[in-house]
Chain A
Amino acid sequence: MSGYILGAILDKESPLNVVDALLLALIGIAIVFLVLIALMLIVSLVGKIFDGSAKLQEEHPEWGEKISSFKAKLMFWKKPQPSDEQPPQLAKGTCGELTLINCEERDAAMIMAIVADSLNTPLNELRFKSIKRVED
């Protein structure tokens, strides 16, 4: 049967008959649904993983800290790369040693001003060690 169908379909000269078209249509729509349902399941799964991970971090902030400390340990053992060897960027005009990581001076100044204002504490009484931009 399948040989007959395939033979008829692959015959480029003769018209396609309705029975073959019907069978092909059934198989075709089934494949479209299967592929898109598979994608739907994968998308849902990926979404659940991301949502779950965000929820876990909210529920157990201490896990986040553990992961950060683990990452820090890994960084300690990592072989220094040329980019790692560059000295940390120091903010100009400060007496302390504020390290800016992926953060513009202008943004850092704004953050420090906002923190000082919300704590109602003069800026010179606060000590900032580092400001790091957290990627999404």
Chain B
Amino acid sequence: MNIGEILKNLWNDSGFHLFGGDSGWQSIVMIIVALFFLYLGIKKKFEPLLLVGIAFGMLLTNLPGSGMFHSEWWTVENIDYVDILRHGGLLDILYIGVKTGVYPCLIFMGVGAMTDFGPMLSRPSSLILGAAAQGGIYLVLILAAATGMFTGGEAASISIIAGADGPTAIFLTKTLAPQLLAPIAVAAYSYMALIPLLQPPFMKLLTTKKERMAVMTTTRKVSKKEKIIFPILVTIIVSLLLPSVAPLLGSLMFGNLLKECGVTERLSDTAQNALMNIVTLFLGISVGATAVGSVFLTTKTLLIIVLGLAGFVLATICGLLIGKLLYVISKGKINPLIGSAGVSAVPMAARVSNTVGLQYNKGNYLLMHAMGPNVAGVIGSAVAAGFLLAVFGA
């Protein structure tokens, strides 16, 4: 027995030695990025439920030699799922849920079970604000095309970051540009976490003090029957108009129906707690796993990060501008600050509207009023994604 040979082989097999390979520096950079995200998630509490999972997945996938995720298996035309189940690593197997679009739909089911559409139903004009904020998506589509670096599918996937809707971004990207899933998912969730920092400067810049102080009155009471009818109606109408969005929107509305119908409390509870937690766990870690250094560290990634940021800002501006228009039309009865909540980051964007409103008029609680455009934004971004899927997914 040659002890020296054994030790040498052990060293050659170790991740430390593999760092010296061609993509070793990229792995080291990604591990540093993963540690930074862990810091943001744990210490700064930036969307920790997702960011901690994404960061840890990123860390695991960039440890050389661990074999937990094989990015090359997922970029081929015909994916061999049986082979993946036989020989894949843990993260490969968890990633099947992302690749098949199961996780985003299950997340939407949980979101639906947690969402109260009451504020939107009591003030239907909220839907206009939800639509307006989607302007950011299409402005980013134009910007992405202007760079000349992205195909239609890639540009569409990047543009959906502006919808501020993580599951929709993943759902669209896994179909149109799977190779960009990691940077797009990371950008979408990171900016969602940064909404309290990103939106207020533009909210203050684009509105006057008088507008920010506008008090909104309570709207009509929504009956239980209306709340039950709404998810059924939306599912039928939107899915008939844009069938490609049926899995996402159908899941969202099914979750909501479980909550509202009053006879499926157990299922509603499971959808919004146990199921949501399990899927968030799997989604976070497997999305993070796609951030393999050799694939992630490119000029395109940097551009995606910049375009995503532009998208969030543009979506906020579009929502605010239409909010100002509604302020004028309603003769001051609608506070334009709720326009920025039209981006679909629920409920962060609505909370930001409330916080900024309270800064200028103590006692003016806008949270419930802002929840209307906020949940309308979820529907709006799903519709936008359905359109992009219909065009580029053909």
Contacts and interface: CB of A to CB of B under 8 A. Distances in A.
Contacts of A16: 141, 144-145, 150-152, 155
Contact of B131 (A11, A13, A36, A50): A36
Contacts of B153: 12
Contacts, number: 125
A39 B145 contact: no
**Most A-side CB within 10 Å, residue of B135, B146, B383:** B383
Contacts of A29: 131, 134-135, 138
Contacts of B391: 9, 24
Contacts of B223: 50, 54, 136
A38 B241 CA distance: 11
A134 interface: no
A124 interface: no
A66 to B, nearest CB: 21
Interface stretch (B26-34, B121-129, B346-354): B121-129
Interface string A53-97: 010000000000000000000000000000000000000000000
Contact of A36 (B139, B149, B242, B383): B383
Contacts of A115: none
B141 A21 contact: yes
**Most B-side CB within 10 Å, residue of A8, A37, A42:** A42
A51 B220 CA distance: 9
B151 A43 contact: no
A24 B150 CA distance: 15
A44 B127 CA distance: 11
B222 interface: yes
Nearest to A15: B148
- Give the interface SS of chain A, mostly helix, strand, loop or mixed: helix
A17 interface: yes
A37 B124 CA distance: 9
A38 B124 CA distance: 10
* Interface size range on B against A: 35 or more
B141 A25 contact: yes
B226 A32 contact: no
Given A20-B145, A40-B124, A25 B387 contact: no
Interface string B221-234: 01111100110011
B111 interface: no
A123 interface: no
Given A35-B241, A36-B128, A46 B226 contact: yes
Contacts of B142: 18, 21-22, 25
B141 A28 contact: yes
Nearest to A10: B394
Contacts of B206: none
A14 interface: yes
A101 interface: no
A38 B127 CA distance: 10
A10 B131 CA distance: 26
A2 to B, nearest CB: 12
Interface in A105-136: 136
B125 to A, nearest CB: 7
**Most A-side CB within 10 Å, residue of B121, B141, B149, B388:** B141
A24 B392 CA distance: 11
B172 interface: no
A47 interface: yes
A31 B238 CA distance: 11
Given A16-B152, A42-B237, A28 B387 contact: yes
A80 B183 CA distance: 63
Contacts of B137: 28
B145 A37 contact: no
A8 B155 CA distance: 13
A25 B138 contact: yes
A59 to B, nearest CB: 17
A32 to B, nearest CB: 5
A18 B145 contact: yes
A136 to B, nearest CB: 5
Contacts of B139: 25
A21 B144 contact: yes
A-B residue pairs, 10 tightest by C-beta: A21-B145, A25-B138, A36-B131, A40-B127, A16-B145, A16-B152, A40-B124, A36-B127, A43-B124, A21-B142
Interface of B: 120-122, 124-125, 127-128, 130-131, 134-135, 137-139, 141-142, 144-146, 148-153, 155, 220, 222-226, 229-230, 233-234, 237-238, 241-242, 376, 379-380, 383-384, 387-388, 391-392, 394
Given A9-B391, A11-B152, A29-B131, 10 more contacts: A12-B152, A16-B151, A16-B155, A21-B142, A22-B142, A25-B138, A28-B138, A40-B128, A44-B124, A47-B226
7 contacts: A11-B152, A12-B153, A15-B145, A16-B141, A18-B142, A37-B131, A50-B223
